[in-house]
Structure 1
Amino acid sequence: MKLTILFGGASFEHEISIVSAITLKEKLSNFDLSFIFCDVDHKFYLIEASKMKAVTFSKGEHKKMPELTLAEGGFVQKSLLSKTMHNNVVLNLIHGADGEDGTVAALFDFYSIKYIGPRLNASVFSYDKRYTKYLCEAIDVKYVKYNVLTKDEHKHIDIAMPVIVKPASLGSSIGVSIVKDENELDYALDTAFEFDKTVIVEPFLEGVKEYNLAGYYANGEMHYSIVEEPQKEEFLDFEKKYMDFSRCEQVLKADISEELEKRLMSNFERVYRGLFEGSLIRCDFFVHNDEILLNEINPIPGSMANYLFEDFSAALEALSESLPHSKRVKVSYEYIHSISKAKGK
């Protein structure tokens, strides 16, 4: 299968996206892969597969490679005498801003480029954690209670300590703090506000169990990964998640009952259906006092959560064959012609 991996982007998760792309190069060795790097200036470069190494980007060597532009149906590589069209299905592997906030989705839809990844509406509801809570209310999925604080106007926190403070629109645990005492709150807020103008405050739940489940819709049905119970301490910090993005060995299935597995899948499907078609997502759930709570939606999970699937290559092939298609509006100009004819012009 031919597949183009788009990675990079102008976000705090830029380097994580590079790690993800390098990991998928190894994981999808049976694919005919091409790689397009989006730098922080939003320039696109076609990267040689042999150059898919971290130092290529840290040393700026990518700037010596062919620069691409967007056109109807794909990316274009221009030279003095010719131009080459790159119109494979694109896998959007840009984590954070640009990739998960809907920017890339809007560009691809505008240029009619086929892609694996969240569409614009899905990006809106998964990128900002406030909107994820709103989505949960609409689809009857339970979630952790929360307060919203803004940089310009702090609001009273009515959640008892300990709490988790996190930027509203960032992943990979960047800017996240556990606050156990009132004296630690100001520092935690200052840290979170360095990354976002809006902050979410949630209770730190004691005795909570966490389960990760990935899936996608293809060939008329939902397909699920195994359920993983991540092994971690109080919370998965940035360094641990950064290393997690390079995982390619399948993890062990969580030791849970069939009944709980079905409940997790049911909640996942309610989140996915009607919004995330065309993408492979991962939902992170909490189980607390026998209630399933959605923690967050990962619309472009690190390394696409390949380690949760028995056959990740087959999953991507099936997904690429089941991408949603948006129809272009046909314009006939009949209205303008009728006006011109009536005016004799």
Structure 2
Amino acid sequence: MKLTILFGGASFEHEISIVSAITLKEKLHGFDLSFIFCDQDHTFYLIEPSKMKAITFSKSEHKKMPQLSLSNGAFVQKSMFSSTHHKGTVLNLIHGADGEDGTIASLLDFFSIDYIGPRVSASVFSYDKRYTKWLCEAKAIKSVDYQIISSNDVKNITIPYPLIVKPATLGSSIGVSIVKDESEIDYALDVAFEYDKHVLIEPFIENVKEYNLAGFMANGEIIYSIVEEPQKDEFLDFEKKYMDFSRSEQVLKADISEELETKLKTNFAKVYKNMFEGSLIRCDFFVVNDEVLLNEINPIPGSMANYLFEDFTGGIEALASSLPHAKKAKVNYDYIHSISSAKGK
């Protein structure tokens, strides 16, 4: 099966996307893989698989490789006398802006290119943490208490200390701070506002139990990964998450009851259905007093959360064969013809 890994993008998570792509090159054996890199200037490059190394991008060697444009149904490599169309399913592996905010989804939809990844509406509700909270409220999914603060409208904080400050549209714990008392809040807000003009304030829950669950829909049913209990200190900081993006060995299943596993899967299904079809996502949950709370939706998880699946390759193949397709409007100009006929023109 032909699969194109699309990675890079113009975001703070650009380098993390490169790490994910390199990891998947080693994981997806049996696929006819190609790699398309989107640089920070939104130029697309066809990367030779043997050059899928960090140094290729850190030394800008990718700029010597063929540039691509987009045409209906394919990425196109043009030469002086001919064009090569690179067709096949695209796996959107661009983390953060471009990949998770709906930009790439819109582009691929516009050019009728099949892709694994969140559609536009799913991107909107998962990329911005404010909208994720509103999605939870609409779908009756319990989540952590929160307050929204904007850079042009800083309000009194009502969440009690200790608390967490998060930029609304960033992942990988970038710009996130734990604030233990009021003396630290101004600095934490300044850090967060460097990345986003909106931030979320949430309570910092001591010794909270955290569980990660990934999944996708294929042939009409959700295929779940194992449940992971991530190892962390105070919280999963950028460095630890960054290292996670290169993980390829399957992790151990969390030692939890069947009842809790069922609760986690039920909440995952509420998030996924009628929103994330066509994508593999990971949901991060907190469990507080036996109550499951959604912490975060990862619409394009690091290295596609390959380490949570027993048969990751088979899963990607099943997902690729079950992609949703938007209904195309049929244009036949009947209305214009009827007007022209009535006017005798």
TM-score calculated relative to the size of structure 2:
0.99
> What is the rounded CA distance, in whole Å, between the counterparts of 1:296 and 1:101 in structure 2?
15
Q: Deviations over 1:284-331 (max 9, x none)?
A: 000011110000000000000000000100000000000001121011
Within the alignment, does 1:6 sit opposite 2:6 as a pair?
yes
Q: Secondary structure at the match of 2:63?
A: helix
Deviation of the 1:30 alpha carbon: 2.3
The AA in structure 1 aligned to 2:312 is F
Whether the 8 Å contact between 1:250 and 1:307 is mirrored in structure 2 is: yes
Contact 1:207 1:288 (8 Å CA) reproduced: no
In the TM superposition, what are the counterparts of 1:262-301 in structure 2 within 5 Å? 262-301=262-301
AA matched with 2:13: E
Structure 1 residue 31: deviation in Å? 1.5
User: Is it true that 1:96 corresponds to 2:96 in the alignment?
Assistant: yes
Take 2:285 and 2:140, find their aligned partners in 1: how far apart are those partners?
A: 14
1:129-188 Cα shifts (integer Å, max 9, x gaps): 000000101111100010101111101110100000000000000000000010000000
C-alpha displacement of 1:29: 2.6
Residue 49 of structure 1 corresponds to 49
How many angstroms apart in 1 are the aligned matches of 2:159 and 2:189? 15
Q: Are residues 1:16 and 2:16 paired?
A: yes
Q: CA deviation at 1:342?
A: 1.5
Partner of 1:316: 316
The RMSD of aligned alpha carbons is 0.6
Alignment match, 1:216 = 216
1:255 has 2:255 as partner:
yes
CA contact (8 A) 2:228 2:254 kept: yes
- The letter of the residue matching 1:41 is D
Q: List aligned pairs for 1:28-177, cutoff 5 A.
A: 28-177=28-177
What aligned pairs does 1:328-339 form with structure 2 within 5 A after superposition?
Answer: 328-339=328-339
Match of 1:222, SS state, is strand
**TM-score, normalised to structure 1's length?**
0.99
**1:207, distance to aligned residue in structure 2 (A):** 2.8
1:194 counterpart = 2:226: no
Q: Residue type matched to 1:243 in 2?
A: M
The unaligned stretches of length 5 or more in structure 1 are: none
Determine if contact 2:70/2:76 at 8 Å carries over to the other structure: yes
Q: Which amino acid aligns with 1:123?
A: S
In structure 2, runs of 5+ residues without a counterpart are none
Matched residue, 2:341: 341
What aligned pairs does 1:221-232 form with structure 2 within 5 A after superposition? 221-232=221-232
Q: Residue 194 of structure 1: CA displacement?
A: 0.4
Shift of 1:210: 0.2
Provide the identity percentage.
76
Q: 2:117 touches 2:279 (CA, 8 Å); kept in 1?
A: yes
Match in the other structure for 2:178: 178
Cα offset, 1:263, TM superposition: 0.5
Decide whether the 8 Å contact of 1:162 with 1:179 is kept in 2: yes
Work out the CA distance in 1 between the residues paired with 2:173 and 2:275: 25
Q: CA deviation at 1:11?
A: 0.1
Please state whether the residue corresponding to 1:231 is helix, strand or coil.
coil
CA distance in 2, matches of 1:77, 1:20: 24
Structure 1 runs (4+) deviating above 4 angstroms are: none
What secondary structure does 2:77 align onto? strand
Q: Partner amino acid for 1:250?
A: Q
